[in-house]
């Protein structure tokens, strides 16, 4: 253990043979020297002068002030906790073990303990520019700030919580995001179950992805916002409502007290194509507007049997807005529900449109030409503008205080 009443400056490597490493500091914080090692061993990733590696032991870095890590490595658990400052920079690399022997080219065969079993990051004033590598179980919390540019690589569990904003994206795996103010996610492809809750706005940007299109097997690079197993988005409601009792590194989730009127400003905006293929479907709730592009929701198109699996009919698509709903297109055979309590609903394409009947095969999303399982569209206080619709079950379209207009 290393401790100081004010600051700890780490200018050398700290290694153990699977023993725990703990560093404690006061308001001066903890800083690892960012200087590149001029005599680095590239195979062992020791290019940083202040590399910290506990092998199978745990690492705990805690300070009252800011923590600026360099390289941290463990096959155990990693905890970084700033009780009044922020966590800025740093990266996780594989924990080293040693050289097992040499191959036929006399290159060393390296044994590594891999990445941490669990990563807990808690920066009171914020977390920024931290890279978790291939760590698979990650929790990050800022009780009084934002989490920005947290880089991950498809973890099986990712939970990010912020008092203010969350700004990140990429390979978020099974990612859960809870922001007291805004959640701004870049494009996400080949990810799992994604949940994004924000007290104000949820925005999902764009990335480029190589996509094989259904019915044609043509591949092309397209702009896409989400390619996931399931998607749940919420804007303008308490983002922490489901997090009672949750802590990260012993720090509790903050309370939500908005300084804005959610029903006036809280939107969900997704910039480009949404592709949901898995179990769980898609659900979007916003206190104000929902603005969505072309959207696909299905169970699986992996092979012929999957395309006609009854689970295709249970992947629901649900939108609920306090004001307007704008949807370019929905492609699904599941149940569709689109409701607005205070605005208009505008749908830009036919729902349950006819497709040619095909012999089921991979990537045919609707080989038996089904309509949606059921359809509910209701604008309590506004109007509905849409094209035709087709469902296998019940259809209900209502605008009790406005008009329903079918476009041609």
Query: How many angstroms separate the CA atoms of 8 and 25, rounded?
Result: 6
Tell me what pLDDT residue 114 has. Answer: 86
Mean predicted lDDT score pLDDT of the chain: 93
Question: Whose structure tokens read 């005599």?
Answer: 39
The more confident residue out of 134 and 101 is: 134
Tell me what pLDDT residue 221 has. Answer: 82
Cα dihedral 381→383→389→395 (10° resolution): 30
Residue 228's DSSP bridge partners are: 276
Q: Decide: helix, strand or coil at residue 262.
A: helix
Tell me what pLDDT residue 86 has. Answer: 98
Query: How many angstroms separate the CA atoms of 341 and 305, rounded?
Result: 40
Task: Calculate mean pLDDT across residues 54-63.
Answer: 96
Say yes or no to pLDDT of 216 above 80: no
Q: Confidence band (pLDDT; 50, 70, 90) for 214?
A: low
Angle ∠(50,136,295) on CA atoms, nearest 5? 125
Domain locations in the chain as residue ranges:
1-135
Query: How many angstroms separate the CA atoms of 74 and 383, rounded?
Result: 58
Tell me what pLDDT residue 269 has. Answer: 98
Say yes or no to pLDDT of 176 above 80: yes
What are 167-176's contacts with CB under 8 Å, separation 24+?
169/204, 169/205, 169/207, 170/207
Tell me what pLDDT residue 49 has. Answer: 87
Tell me what pLDDT residue 10 has. Answer: 96
Say yes or no to pLDDT of 121 above 90: yes
What are 124's two structure tokens? 């009171």
Task: Calculate mean pLDDT across residues 229-251.
Answer: 97
The more confident residue out of 100 and 144 is: 144
What confidence tens digit (pLDDT) does each residue in 299-335 have? 999 899 999 999 999 999 999 999 999 999 999 999 9
Question: Whose structure tokens read 């080293």?
Answer: 96
Element (H, E) at 234: strand 230-235
Q: Confidence band (pLDDT; 50, 70, 90) for 213?
A: low
What are 275's two structure tokens? 């592709």
């Amino acid at each position: 253990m290393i401790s100081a009443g004010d600051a700890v400056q780490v200018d050398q490597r700290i290694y153990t043979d699977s023993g725990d490493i703990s560093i404690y500091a006061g308001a001066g914080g903890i800083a690892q020297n960012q200087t590149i090692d001029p005599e680095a061993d590239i195979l062992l990733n020791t290019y940083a002068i202040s590399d910290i590696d506990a092998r199978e032991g745990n690492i705990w870095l805690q300070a009252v002030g800011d923590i600026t890590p360099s390289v941290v490595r463990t096959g155990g658990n990693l905890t970084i906790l700033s009780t009044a400052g922020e966590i800025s920079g740093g990266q996780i690399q594989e924990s080293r073990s040693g050289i097992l022997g040499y191959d036929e080219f006399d290159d060393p065969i390296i044994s590594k303990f891999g990445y941490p079993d669990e990563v807990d990051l808690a920066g009171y004033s914020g977390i920024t520019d931290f890279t978790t590598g291939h760590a698979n179980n990650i929790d990050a919390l800022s009780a009084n700030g934002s989490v920005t540019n947290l880089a991950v690589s498809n973890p099986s569990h990712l939970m990010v919580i912020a008092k203010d904003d969350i700004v990140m994206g990429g390979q978020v795996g099974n990612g859960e995001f809870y922001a007291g103010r805004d959640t701004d996610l870049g494009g996400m492809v080949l990810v799992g179950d994604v949940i994004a809750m924000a007290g104000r706005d949820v925005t999902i940007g764009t990335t480029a992805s190589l996509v094989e299109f259904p019915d044609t097997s043509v591949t092309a690079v397209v702009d896409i916002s989400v390619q996931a197993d399931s998607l749940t988005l919420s804007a303008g409601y308490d983002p922490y409502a489901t997090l009672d009792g949750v802590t990260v590194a012993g720090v509790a989730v903050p309370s939500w007290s908005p300084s804005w009127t959610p029903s006036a400003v809280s939107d969900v905006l997704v910039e480009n194509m949404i592709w949901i293929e898995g179990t769980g479907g898609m659900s979007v709730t916003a206190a104000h507007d929902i603005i969505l592009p072309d959207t696909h929701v299905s169970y699986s198109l992996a092979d012929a049997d999957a395309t006609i699996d009854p689970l295709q009919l249970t992947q629901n698509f649900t939108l609920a807005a306090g004001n307007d709903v704008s949807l370019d297109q929905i492609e699904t055979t599941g149940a569709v529900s689109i409701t607005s309590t205070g605005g208009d609903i505008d749908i830009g394409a036919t729902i349950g449109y006819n497709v040619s009947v095909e012999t089921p095969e991979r990537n045919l999303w609707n080989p038996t030409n089904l309509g949606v399982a059921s359809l509910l569209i209701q604008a309590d206080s506004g109007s509905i503008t849409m094209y035709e619709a087709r469902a296998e079950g019940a259809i209900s379209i209502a605008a009790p205080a406005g008009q329903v207009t079918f476009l041609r």
